[in-house]
Amino acid sequence: MASGSTSKSLTVIAPGRVNLLGEHVDYNDGVVLPAAIDLTMRLTVELLDEPVIILNALDLGKEAAFRIADLSDKVDLNGESLPHFALYPASVAWAFQQAGLSIPGLRAVYTSNIPIGSGLSSSAAVEVAFAQAFMNLSGWEVDPMTLVKLTKKGENEYIGVQSGIMDQFACMFGIVNHALYLDTRSLAWEAVPLPDDVAIIVADSNIPRRLANSAYNDRQKACVDAVLALQAALPGITALRDVSPVDFEAHARLLPGDVRLRARHVVEEIARVEEAVQLLKMGDVRGFGELMVAGHASLRDLYEVSLPELDILVEIALEQEGCYGARLTGAGFGGCTVNLVRDDCSESFMTALCVAYQRRTGRQAKLYHTHAARGAHVVPDHSA
């Protein structure tokens, strides 16, 4: 491993992300199409002489501190269980520790305008920001994909959320004005240009998403069960990624009701992503938007992770001038929709969406006008 920076302090900027297409397929070895967005978290860290990590989450008004030696026990300096917010930085430190990488003591202060619990990967932004900070303050260096893999390991094994690799990947690898086509099996990826005149408008339903307490893990189990059942007819498959739409139609009868619905979504969503990439390369944003709408219907009817409020946001969006496509983004069960909107229509779009959503649900949506942004990076303090 090459030697990294050994400065005493630094600032990391990490973006949130939206997934434009390819929902709930990353843990099925599928292909996804996320984009980092210019909602960001800012992490400032300084080295400490003692092997302790001190956290100050400004937006939450919370602090925590723990010894690096106590990472596996998930306890603070007083032996109490770590608060939930502290598990995310701790999970990264733990994963690095498990990989034999040294972790320095540090004081961390961080703030973010990425809404929490809305499906925009506020937690993944925290994870990749701390990964960058630990590496740059420790004197060792690994490639960015290794950092992504380790943050995923921490989230899966330390926090206990069985998410795929997409969120951390998008937050780490984001490119301005591009979506990221990622093969979650091979980890091969490609930047796909987005039209210059299109904004990514995120609409927060104001219903916080409870990922760890939701049916997320149940959906993942259904996918595993589908593979096991389909192997009777397709012995070569190891994930739903290996099942073509044609093969699925031929053998769907092997699957019980709910499992069949979940698997159908995954198989068809992967096919949508492959088609969508070609449409974007041809500049066909209307065709891409139609695939977004089809993806939302599948998440609503087959994967059953939408909510009436998310459906209403999509319905309203599609009635507005300049909207090419809309769908829920993230795991569902609350959170946000993502909308591709012609930039010159974005202001009127946002106003109409807010007014109509409040009229129909009594809730106030939060709207974010964003574009595809750069991934996590260290910046000089004076320009952060």
DSSP element (H, E) containing 146:
helix 144-153
DSSP element (H, E) containing 172:
helix 166-173
Class of the CATH-defined domain 9-193+373-383: alpha beta
As beta bridge partners, residue 326 has 339
Residues of the chain with CATH 3.30.230.10: 9-193+373-383
H helix runs in 199-338, sequence order: 216-230, 245-251, 257-281, 285-301, 308-318
Whole-number pLDDT of residue 211: 54
Which homologous superfamily is 198-370 in? GHMP kinase, C-terminal domain (3.30.70.890)
167 belongs to the catalytic site = yes
Whole-number pLDDT of residue 131: 98
Whole-number pLDDT of residue 5: 45
Residues of the chain with CATH 3.30.70.890: 198-370
φ, ψ for residue 19, nearest 5 deg: -105, 115
Whole-number pLDDT of residue 210: 64
Whole-number pLDDT of residue 24: 92
Q: What is the pTM of this model?
A: 0.90
Strands 106-112 and 52-57: parallel
Rg over alpha carbons for the chain, rounded to the nearest Å, is 21
Residue ranges of the chain with per-residue pLDDT less than 50: 1-5, 212-213, 383-384
Whole-number pLDDT of residue 23: 94
Catalytic residue among 26, 76, 167, 204: 167
